[in-house]
A = this chain, B = another copy of it.
Amino acid sequence: MTTYAAPLEDMQFALDLAGLPEIAELPRYAEATPDLIAAVLDEAGKFGAGVLAPINAVGDQQGCRLEPDGTVRMPDGAVEAYAQFLEAGWNSLPFDPDYGGQGLPGVVGVAVAEIWHAANMAWSIGPLLTTGTIEALSVHGTDHQKEVYLPKLVSGEWTGTMNLTESQAGSDLAQLRCKAEPAPDLGEDRYRIHGQKVFISHGDHDLTENICHLVLARLPDAPPGVKGISLFLVPKRLVAADGSLGDANDVKAVSLEHKLGIHGSPTAVMAYGDDGGAVATLIGAPHQGLACMFTMMNNARLNVGLQGVGIAERAYQQAVAFACDRVQGVDVTDPATGRATIVHHPDVRRMLMDMRARTEAARLLTYYAAARMDLAKAQPDESVRAAAQARADVLTPVVKGWCTEVGFAVSDMGVQVHGGTGYIEETGAAQHLRDARVARIYEGTNGIQAIDLVSRKVLRDKGAAVRALVADMRATHDALTGAPADVAAMAPAFAAALDDLEATTTWVLDHASPLDAQGAATPYASLFGIAAGGWLMMRAALDARRRLDAGTGNPAQWQAKLGTARYFADAVMPFTRAHRAAALAGPDSLMALEEDWF
């Protein structure tokens, strides 16, 4: 079993840089005082380290079980941890006080959730999906639906799931076949659902007595394709108008997947309506299900990016602990001191610095995007809200794609730091790699994220949102050039990354055919992640330098931040040039082979 301690100092710093002080001044978040936030993070750190982290390896080893009676049993400790989680009020943190939430800014909820993912990624998928369900219901639900379902979801007494995928419809939701029929015999706005959904995370479990499944299905009069999809809420147990629980609904988990990782999260095949029809209620307008689901999905995408941050932090901490303990070889800068811990070796340092730099940049980027969502909701000035929403929109696929790549790369490097020991399961390093792997796949593969970025976030507004971002980045670059020498030294590397982002954006705008755009999507997204994460690392360096000069806080923290930002500039940023070259080469060599030559 490996230990974990929430990196509270860096989380607090990332919240500051994301603009939490500005958000906390908005009337809606008046209660989010610095003292309260600090206390919340501190307590969350204790809960993550003391309750969730200890059952992480257990969940991996035991996995989940589908009992013969159709019940899904969670691994040892999961149910008790969930009860404590609810008891402490963790589930309700960022939600609307009208429905029992604590009304803290979303970015604070994100910081706290980073701790859950780091401590126990598999277990935390449950609350992650509940968060998305609350978001979708809050935006698209009727008042009655909100009154019935939101209090239970906000408290965490019930959990939520997302049911999109069918075996023939993964990335291609147009192929959905799940059917919904009006059932006026059951009451107003009642439907019966028939069909099967696959890869349903936390599709069934014994954490709560009810589960709210959000299900995409087609109404009888639906047009074909994605314009004929509607969103339904299908509770595991029927819910009366007063919110009380009724009979079991006609929905069940029929099998659980045997996966590479996240064994502690049940991934189910869900059967709807095998016994006459699963009773459902419509969320939003008929045939508008995809738009409703995107509300949930955009929330989930940010939170999946956050899983990348969490698992990276966990893997980093474990690698550091190993490297500071394992004695092997001599310190090449001072061989006379005899055998040294491997943290002294330059090549091990490279791995640790790379893990640290990527993890911190991914944290900054995720918190920054989450803070934009808070501003988009709560800022009184409409133009500020719109700008914040546009920024959040363009960054959502970058957070999901790049931060999950970081999560995997860092977990993978964590295995490498351990040498042979890393390949042994008992060490725990390999579990992080296995767990982290899924985040690049689910909630839309990273290829889908890249295509979303290029087609919906760059081409659709003709580059306006990206240009606004680049303008902010240019301002940071100007600040770097005027900063003290240690910070100014990073300016050339950042300038090059910024040039790459601009040049490749221009190329994408000039090559808007689906073939060109999709061919360039993945290199463009990779480049974007480095440039955006790097931008925030540069802002972090400027801020660290200021705090150091002002003598505030812990000087070692600011020195370390400066060193880590410098590593990012030295060794991570140069990769934007390579991704730019790959994008600008165009699709010819991608498509050079006939299908039967493969």
B350, B563, B592: the one contacting A566 at CB < 8 Å is: B592
Residues of B within 8 A of A582 (CB): 570-571, 574
B594–A556 CB distance below 8 A:
yes
B581–A578 CB distance below 8 A:
no
Cβ of A320 within 8 Å of any chain B Cβ, yes or no, is yes
Cβ of A83 within 8 Å of any chain B Cβ, yes or no, is no
Interface residue count on the A side (C-beta < 8 Å):
97
- Contacts beyond the supplied A556-B597, A567-B592: 19 A-B pairs with Cβ under 8 Å: A172-B339, A259-B424, A343-B595, A346-B514, A346-B590, A347-B450, A347-B521, A349-B519, A350-B522, A352-B598, A415-B441, A416-B447, A423-B437, A560-B597, A563-B593, A567-B589, A570-B581, A574-B582, A575-B578
Cβ of A425 within 8 Å of any chain B Cβ, yes or no, is yes
Residues of B within 8 A of A567 (CB): 589-590, 592
Cβ of A246 within 8 Å of any chain B Cβ, yes or no, is no
B259, B328, B447, B564: the one contacting A172 at CB < 8 Å is: B328
Query: Which residue on B lies nearest to A356, using beta carbons?
Result: B598
In the assembly, what is the distance between CA of A423 and CA of B260, in Å? 6
Main SS at interface, chain A: helix
Residues of B within 8 A of A288 (CB): none
A346–B437 CB distance below 8 A:
no
B430–A416 CB distance below 8 A:
no
Scan residues 428-449 of chain A and give those whose CB is less than 8 A from a CB of chain B. Answer: 430, 433-434, 437-438, 440-442, 445-447
6 smallest A-B Cβ distances: which pairs? A563-B592, A332-B514, A570-B585, A574-B581, A571-B582, A574-B578
B165–A420 CB distance below 8 A:
yes
Cβ of A257 within 8 Å of any chain B Cβ, yes or no, is yes
A564–B578 CB distance below 8 A:
no
**Would you mind naming 17 contact pairs between A and B with Cβ atoms under 8 Å apart?**
A170-B328, A172-B328, A172-B329, A259-B423, A261-B423, A324-B598, A332-B514, A333-B514, A333-B515, A343-B595, A347-B519, A347-B522, A416-B446, A419-B445, A493-B581, A567-B589, A574-B577
A518–B571 CB distance below 8 A:
no
Query: Which residue on B lies nearest to A563, using beta carbons?
Result: B592
Scan residues 495-522 of chain A and give those whose CB is less than 8 A from a CB of chain B. Answer: 514-515, 518-519, 521-522
Smallest CB separation, A229 vs chain B (Å): 15
Smallest CB separation, A254 vs chain B (Å): 15
In the assembly, what is the distance between CA of A556 and CA of B332, in Å? 53
Residues of B within 8 A of A123 (CB): none
Scan residues 539-590 of chain A and give those whose CB is less than 8 A from a CB of chain B. Answer: 556-557, 559-560, 562-564, 566-567, 569-571, 574-575, 577-578, 581-582, 585, 587-590
Cβ of A160 within 8 Å of any chain B Cβ, yes or no, is no
